[in-house]
Amino acid sequence: MPALKVSGLTYSYGPAPLIRDVSFELRSGDFMCVLGPNGSGKSTLLKLLTGFLKPQGGHARLGGQDTAGLPPRRLAALAAYVPSETVTPYDFTVKETVLLGRTARAGFWRGYDAADEAAALKAMEETGMTGFADRAVNSLSTGERQLAFIAQALAQEAKVLLLDEPTSHLDLRYKAAVMNLLAGLAGRGLAVAAVLHEPALARLGCNKALLLERGGGYYCGAAADALVRENLARLYGLPASSPLLP
């Protein structure tokens, strides 16, 4: 059974279609990049997959269960989501932030137990954030903060990991580090999907690609087939000779 199965997913904010009849599968070990121009519905798609937005047509199934009927706590145990913007006015430490990833597992009426602590420590280790445990998240650099919120998502121990622009605002070193980390997570059995803005980054470990066009068209396939120059030139409306394309 695929970790995530999307069939006929449809959504729009107004009369113009944004996501139209999109179908694809994500299996354990897959690392899929979601590419497309601004306004092609990349972020909206991720929110449909987590059930935050309700699809106007079609289904998203996580581990075989339709997201439409599931309460947030069940959904959070099936899929973890890292938003593109992670700002809070309060100075939570990295460890407090990562532990909050255990919300769905722990519920609201008990404190954290040993399993929660262990999961948080493991997530911080995997992301290289162990040394930052007691630092305030707001005092970290953009790249470190991104890693802290990936650690929070890992502490959720969901099989599916969805990330909205995890490499935006990062320098090249952190972009590579995040892609490397995500590829490694797919390697140990997670199903990972990340919205990216630079097609070149997808070469760092993605085996699948979903290309979303403005107006509802899409293409999903193996990264090697999808990420060819002609496809990307058409997707972004650039000449095939553009030096921006990989």
Smallest gap from Cβ 103 to another protein, in A, equals: 4
Kindly tell me which of 112 and 219 has the beta carbon lying closer to another protein.
112
Does 21 interact with another protein (rule: CB under 8 A)? no
Burial zone of 64 (CB within 10 Å; 0-12 exposed, 13-18 middle, 19+ buried): exposed
Q: Contacting another protein (CB under 8 A), which of 93, 130, 168, 207?
A: 93
The total number of residues written for the chain in this structure:
246
3-state SS, residue 3: coil
Show the site string, 124-163: x = touches another protein by CB under 8 A, - = not: ----------------------------x---x-------
Smallest gap from Cβ 53 to another protein, in A, equals: 10
Torsion sign across C-alpha atoms 215, 227, 3, 71: negative
Q: What angle do the packed helices 142-155 and 114-126 form, to 10 degrees?
A: 140
Q: How far apart are CA 46 and CA 158, in angstroms?
A: 15
Q: How far apart are CA 184 and CA 106, in angstroms?
A: 27
Q: How far apart are CA 246 and CA 233, in angstroms?
A: 10
Q: Contacting another protein (CB under 8 A), which of 12, 17, 28, 52?
A: 52
Does 62 interact with another protein (rule: CB under 8 A)? no
Q: Contacting another protein (CB under 8 A), which of 24, 81, 132, 218?
A: 81
Q: Contacting another protein (CB under 8 A), which of 89, 131, 239, 243?
A: 89
Residue 151 CA: distances (Å) to CA of 136, 156, 162: 15, 9, 13
Does 91 interact with another protein (rule: CB under 8 A)? yes
Smallest gap from Cβ 239 to another protein, in A, equals: 37
Smallest gap from Cβ 129 to another protein, in A, equals: 17
Residues 6+ apart with CB under 8 A from 64: 1, 5
Does 108 interact with another protein (rule: CB under 8 A)? yes
**Chain contacts with another protein (rule: CB under 8 A):** 50, 52, 71-73, 75-77, 80-81, 83, 86-93, 96-97, 100-101, 103-104, 106, 108-109, 111, 152, 156
